[in-house]
Amino acid sequence: MKLLKLLLIFLFCSLSAQKSIPFDTLMLKEAKDMLADDYGNLYIYKNKDFSFTKYDSLGKQLGKMMFTVPFKVQNVQNPLSIAFFSENAQEMKFVDQNLNDIQKVDFKQKFGFIRMAYAEDLQQLWLLDDSMKRLIQYNFRNETTINSYPFDASFDDLMDLMVFENKIYILTKKQIRIYTFKFEKLFEAPIENGKRFRRENEFILVITNNSILKYIPEKEMVKIFEDPDAQIVDKNTLSFFEIKANNLYLYSLEKSKETKLQTEPEPEKKSTDQPVEKSEEKSSEQPAGNNLEKLIDEISEIQKFGI
């Protein structure tokens, strides 16, 4: 009976890692992006009508915005001030927890063509000016340029920009690159379907369509969450979230394991095993399914004797 109990506990723990959250499946089907804040609120962006809607954990709508052009939301880590950037409108706007406008910053009159913008805090922006080929540190409260750095680079499918601890983080759909202010490349790694950065204290994360990766400084990218079948993934400080098959799921951070994302293929190891030894090893190994069936049969035999 003890073996049976252990088996049932193992199966329960495996299933309890995933929690389904009741949400309108039609709404999730039309979602282009999803973000989660640390209060359990979810934000859905629809590319169909350029809408951005906030919901609580039970699916109740708390606020909604309608844009006339595409906007990119930076993050919702501070739900009291959420930053949006529009390359089409050449502006950045900030909204409060009810998605009401706080401030709008218009770049058209003061700069060239801003390819990407990053709000460092509640008064400073970093602007990637594509026409002037410069990275600009701008105080939008008093409308002054603090610094300007030559940054002569072009990026295909540029998705996000971040500046942290004197390093410039560039994310495209296929790559992450990190530079100094002197335009010296510090790190580069392939990324599949990159979407945006997320910073948690000193850690830099990359959100993709179906995975979340953590940057190990100047070494590698490590996957901390992945589901090949997911439509959209995101995280807050407590959980991972995903939309899969038009359903919303939550995963506890404690249930997740980190797996290394290889930035370079490992060299193949030469096999020293003899052909006879390989066949012996293969014959001695049993599939996991057979072992489980054998365990259940043994439990049944024990129960027959009343043990």
pLDDT single digits (tens) 193-250: 999 999 999 999 999 999 999 999 989 999 999 999 999 999 999 999 999 999 999 9
* ∠ Cα 131 104 177 (to 5°): 45
Q: Which two tokens stand for residue 170?
A: 């560039």
Cα separation of the two ends of the chain: 8
pLDDT of residue 152: 79
Count of CB atoms situated within 10 Å of the CB of 47? 11
Q: What is the SS3 assignment for 144?
A: strand
Q: What is the SS3 assignment for 113?
A: coil
In sequence order, the β-bridge partners of residue 168 are 163, 179
pLDDT of residue 267: 45
* Cα 11 from chain centre: 28
Cα–Cα distance between 190 and 174 in angstroms, integer? Answer: 6
Mean pLDDT per 10-residue section of the chain, whose length is 307 residues? 44 54 81 94 93 92 94 95 96 97 94 96 95 95 96 86 97 96 95 96 97 96 96 95 94 60 44 43 42 49 47
- Rg for the chain (alpha carbons), in Å? 25
pLDDT of residue 64: 96
Q: Which CATH number fits domain 2-264: 3.90.105.10, 2.40.50.110, 3.40.50.1400, 2.120.10.30?
A: 2.120.10.30
pLDDT of residue 19: 81
Q: Of 96, 77, 32, 33, nearest to 236 (Cα)? A: 77
Q: Of 208, 125, 135, nearest to 172 (Cα)? A: 208
Evaluated on CA atoms 97, 99, 104, 105, the torsion sign reads positive
Strand order of the β-sheet with 185-190 is 158-164, 167-172, 175-179, 185-190
DSSP secondary-structure letter at 307? -
pLDDT of residue 135: 96
Q: Are 58 and 39 in contact (CB under 8 A)?
A: no
pLDDT of residue 254: 64
**DSSP structure string for 239-276:** EEEEEETTEEEEEEGGG---EEEPSSPPPPPPP---HH
What predicted TM-score, i.e. pTM, was given to this entire model?
0.77
Q: Of 26, 24, 65, 58, nearest to 41 (Cα)? A: 58
Q: What are phi and psi of 241, to 5 degrees?
A: -125, 150
Cα–Cα distance between 214 and 202 in angstroms, integer? Answer: 11
Task: For tokens 């959209």, name the residue.
Answer: 232
